[in-house]
Amino acid sequence: MSQQPFAGRAADLIEKHTAGSAELASADVWAEAAEDCVLARIKSLRLIGGLPRHKTPLSSDERIQRLKTLLNLWASGCSCAVDEDLFADIVNRHRQA
């Protein structure tokens, strides 16, 4: 499977997030889209040993910062970068929903 779609999607999300001051509603929409991108990437990865689901949940601000950092890495070509804490946080929250 090509990893380019994730790099392109990550770049698009980063560009939209930094394009100007976003209202809270659009920030929530951005975060949801960014998490969907991360979830799609998780599903395409072969994570040996799985994710450490016992990790402490991230705060909203920390989650947004980690999303931005990870998407920037993916957009710049580091498509194999993994943030285990972020991955575990997103997976745990989406399993509860």
pLDDT along the chain (97 residues), means of 10: 58 62 63 88 76 82 93 87 90 79
What's the confidence (pLDDT) of residue 66?
Answer: 95
What's the confidence (pLDDT) of residue 4?
Answer: 56
Tell me the longest C-alpha to C-alpha distance in the chain: 40
Residue 62's domain comprises 4-96
What's the confidence (pLDDT) of residue 18?
Answer: 52
Provide CB contacts within 8 A for 54, sequence distance 6+. none
Residue 57 to residue 54: CA distance in whole angstroms: 9
The tally of domains found in the chain comes to: 1
What's the confidence (pLDDT) of residue 22?
Answer: 47
* Nearest of 31, 28, 39, 43 to residue 68 by alpha carbon: 31
What's the confidence (pLDDT) of residue 89?
Answer: 92
Can you list the alpha helix ranges (DSSP code H) found in 1-97?
Answer: 4-17, 24-44, 60-75, 84-96
